[in-house]
Every structure is written in structure tokens, then in C-alpha cells.
Structure 1
Amino acid sequence: MGLGAVDVRALATRHGVAPTKSKGQNFVVDPGTVTRIVRLAGVGPGDTVLEVGPGLGSLTVPLLSSGARVVAVELDERLAAALPGTVAEHLPGAVDRLHVVRGDATAVAAADLPLPPDALVANLPYNVAVPILLGVLRAVPSVRSGVVMVQSEVADRLCATPGGRVYGVPSVKLAWYAAARRVGSVAPTVFWPVPRVDSGLVGFERREPPAAEAPREDVFAVVDTAFAQRRKTLRQSLAPLAGSAAAAEAALLAAGVDPRERAERLDVTAFAAVADALRRGRAAFRGALQEDSP
């Protein structure tokens, strides 16, 4: 069960809502698309789904139809207030499985949610899709899997593997948390308003991060620094972080990485190894200074 174009436009008129580009709002008006997303997510009775940006409820109703509970995080006050009524109208009896949280999904925390969600299933706002996805995986550890709809080129970046043309910071950071794959494509015509780009569906399964002494923040700092100058060798690009090109080379060799390589050749495990080597190198330097001090 889903909302069609007539339903969505009628709801928008009733609640005085118009999609805004500043909030990245593009409402899905094709029931087949949202039904496919729910099927790909594999959610059902007993599951709790986190939906970010439910909008007018196009995906919320099919998620509830699966028997799952839904925790919907909505930034727009009018949309958040209207969602329970929409569910009551189109799926009587399911309102008790809907929990609406009014807030900014880019800063969501587990403590903000009334139930710990098992899955993230959402049509993410194009302009903040990557920060929301990575933020949820960082801040809500109960989320074990999910399917998200994002701009097509963003889907490609999130799922890219080392050596690929679009492999970059989002690819590595998502790989820290989860194994991801592209599970489908979506045409612009299923949205209102119709965007100028295609969309892609990204499925993910959480996994343990690479074994590392360095905390995630240190690993991500290495990733950000390495890709900031991706045309340079790692010896050159990591010099500012290491303190010098020589220190960067020493850390890379200690991590088993060729200093002449470039960032796009390393997977997340290699980046973790480099962060560990940099951390040990700084510790050794501090130890040498203490020994030399009177």
C-alpha cells in the first residue's frame, strides 16, 4: 500500500505544504517505488525502522504496512504534525506503531529516539544525504542494516571500491561502518517535483570496523587529509598531518603502504593501519623529547 500522485498532492494542499529545494524535498508519488524499497529492506513485524525525512508519508505508509514499527524524524514542523493523521487515514490501526520525532536528522542521537531502531529506510534529502547516513551509523549503533535512496552519483560514490574513479571520502567512511552495495535505480519521474537527476538505492549491512588502535576520528582525519589532495602521492598529501614528508613516509612504510601510492588505492583497513602508524610515530617522538629534557 502506498500513496499515489493524487494522494500526495491532495495532502500537500490540505496542509499548505510545497516542496522546498533548501530542505532537499522531493516527494515520491509512485507507490511501486516505495513498495520496492520496503521489499529490498526486508523489514516486517518485530522490526523498528528509522525513517529520516518522511515528508507526506509516501514511504511511511508502506513501511507500516509491512508490520514494522516506524520512528520518523522530520525537520518540517507542519509535516511532522500531519503525519499521524495521514497514517490514520490510509492505514487505520497502524498509528500506534508510528513515533514521530521533530528534529534535525543531521544531529540525531540514539537518546533522541523513543525506540532503538534496527534498520534505516529512507528517501534522504539530496543536499545532506551523506552526513545523515554517516551520522546515523555513528550515533545510532542499534541500526544494523538499511536501504536509502540518494542521488545516483552519490550512490555510486558510497558504494565505490578502491581504484575506482569515484572512490573517495564517502566510500571509505561508509566502509568503516558497513558493507554497502547499489541495489537499484530510480527514475526522476517518480518524484514531485521532478528532479534533474536520477536516484540510486544503496543497501548496507553493518559490520565491525577495522581493528585499530587509533580512534575513528584519527582514521577519518587521515582519510580527509589524503583525499584533500588526491592527485598527490600519500607521502606528500599526508605530510601536513604527519609533520613532514619524511614522517609521513615512515608511517606509510610502517603500515605496509607504498608512499608513492595515492589515496584512491587504499581501502579502509589500510587507512586504519596508516592512522595507527602515525599515532605510534607521534608517541615515539613525544617519548624521545621527554628523554632529552633535563
Structure 2
Amino acid sequence: MGKTRGLLGPADVRELTARLGIRPTKTLGQNFVIDANTVRRIVRSAALSPDDVVIEVGPGLGSLTLALLPEVRRVVAVEIDPALAAELPATAAAREPDLAARLEVVHADAMKITHVPGPDPTALVANLPYNVAVPVVLHLLATLPSLRTALVMVQAEVADRMVARPGGKIYGVPSVKLAWYGDARRAGAVGRAVFWPAPNVDSGLVAFTRRDPPPSAASRAGVFAVVAAALAQRPRLTHIQRSPRSATRCHRR
């Protein structure tokens, strides 16, 4: 049996970023999870089974990946950054040598994924970049019908929008589209101190369970087009206002 080295802590994250030449800054929106209890909490909230095949988007340095490997049959980590994608298998091999074979790293843009290698993924578990969180979730649900559950960490404001119910001020297109695929709920809050560097916003966990879409004579695309057109007519004051900086921030964890 190989010797495990456990999850990544603050010193590990700093060592890896230094070795890879990554200098995370708030301006660039580069924030990495440094708290092992947070990733354990994410995995616990995902309620995974040993037979699950997890797709993880934006694994970054592998903080969450390492916590997923002991719990499931396979982890497919989709990473757009070539340096991070190249380093992740080595991190897994060094810290979880007996489980590293469960990891498949795919160097790709998650928004362009139409399939993943190996068995069909059954769960999405990810710490998502804030500015693409909703599009990524919707794209994967549309293209990977085998996904039955999801547990994602996103910006707190985005989490509220994803789970909003009809009649609320923040109920909008993300809420309607996600509800087409299944049921979403808030699964907890995450503070800023678990990241390095600490972001300017809090995060939230969203849990999702797929169900059959509502009966409709129209196609999904047709329904979504009508929804987008209808909700676009609402007064702008019914939407949460964001600063340009927060709207474009992309967090890599």
C-alpha cells in the first residue's frame, strides 16, 4: 500500500503555485481552497456512493479532487488550464498513490464537453468559476443525461438565483432553466477565509437532483427561448445588480 499525504493545506497550495509559477491575485480572480474541512464538507454534502462516477469542473490544484477519490469509483476532472491539467495527475499520485488510477484528467473547456472518457458520469461535484457557473451546469445537464445529482460551490448571489422560486425578486432565467432539469436547493454557505487569496464575495453550496422534465408539447429550446424573452421584459430593479468587476470575476480553485 502506498503512503498517503492527505488533503492540500495552505502551505501545500502555496508550494504548488510557486512551483508552477502561478501568482494568484484578486485582480485576476485566482482563488484556491486551502481548508481541508471545506472540501470534506462538499463531498459529504454531495451524498456520493462508491459506484458514482464524478465529473469535476475546474479542479485547479486538486483540493477537492483529492477528497473525492476515496469516495467514488472514478473522477473525471475537466481543467482548461494546461499547466494545472498537467500537474494534477502527479499531485494525485504523490498524495493518494493507491487511488490515483481512479482519476482521469481532461484538458478541455467544460462548455465544449459533449462526452467524457470511460463510464458515463453520474454526479457533478465542483467548485465552479463564478462567471461561468450557471452556463456550465446547464450545458452539462443538457449534454450528459447520465448526470443524476450535482453539488456545486458558486458565488453566494449565484446560488440564490439558481434556487429561487417563482414570485421572488431574484427569480429569473437561471432559476427556470435549472428547474426544467430537476430540483435545486441551497446546501450551505461558505465564507471567504477558506480561499487563498480571499475573494471579495462569499460562496454558497447548491445541491441538485435530476428528474424528468415537465410535460410539454414544445421543445426544451423553445421553452427556454420563451422564458428568456418573457423574463427580459421585467423591470431591471427585480434583478440583483452587480458591479462590472464582480460580474466578470473568474475564480480558479
Q: Which residues of structure 1 form unaligned runs of 5+?
A: 233-261, 263-294
Q: Which residue of structure 2 lines up, in the alignment, with residue 176 of structure 1?
A: 180
In structure 1, C-alpha distance between the alignment counterparts of 2:97 and 2:7, rounded to whole Å: 14
> Which of residues 224, 227, 231 is equivalent to 2:231?
227
In structure 1, C-alpha distance between the alignment counterparts of 2:8 and 2:126, rounded to whole Å: 15
Q: Does 1:85 align with 2:90?
A: yes
In structure 2, C-alpha distance between the alignment counterparts of 1:229 and 1:126, rounded to whole Å: 25
> Which of residues 80, 94, 111 is equivalent to 1:75?
80
Following superposition of structure 1 onto structure 2, how do residues 27-66 of structure 1 map, counting pairs within 5 Å? 27-66=32-71
In structure 1, C-alpha distance between the alignment counterparts of 2:24 and 2:104, rounded to whole Å: 23
Q: Which residue of structure 2 lines up, in the alignment, with residue 3 of structure 1?
A: 8
- Give CA-to-partner distance per residue, 1:233-255, whole Å, 9 cap, x none: xxxxxxxxxxxxxxxxxxxxxxx
In structure 2, C-alpha distance between the alignment counterparts of 1:23 and 1:72, rounded to whole Å: 22
TM normalised by structure 2 equals: 0.87
Q: Which residues of structure 2 form unaligned runs of 5+?
A: 1-5, 239-253
Structure 1 residue 67: Cα displacement = 3.9
Partner SS state of residue 197, structure 1? coil
* Higher relative contact order, structure no. (Cα contacts within 8 Å, ≥ 6 residues apart): 2
Q: Which of 1 and 2 has greater Rg?
A: 1
Structure 1 residue 46: Cα displacement = 1.6
Partner SS state of residue 165, structure 1? coil
**1:181 corresponds to which letter in structure 2?**
R
- Asked if 1 retains the 8 angstrom alpha-carbon contact of 2:54 and 2:72, the reply is no
- Asked if 2 retains the 8 angstrom alpha-carbon contact of 1:126 and 1:151, the reply is yes
**1:227 corresponds to which letter in structure 2?**
L
> Which of residues 155, 158, 161 is equivalent to 2:162?
158
Aligned residue pairs total: 232
Structure 1 residue 21: Cα displacement = 6.6
Structure 1 residue 95: Cα displacement = 1.3
**1:150 corresponds to which letter in structure 2?**
V
In structure 2, C-alpha distance between the alignment counterparts of 1:41 and 1:169, rounded to whole Å: 25
Partner SS state of residue 147, structure 1? strand
- Asked if 1 retains the 8 angstrom alpha-carbon contact of 2:153 and 2:203, the reply is yes
Fraction of identical pairs, as percent: 58
Q: Which residue of structure 2 lines up, in the alignment, with residue 121 of structure 1?
A: 125
CA RMSD, 1 decimal = 1.8
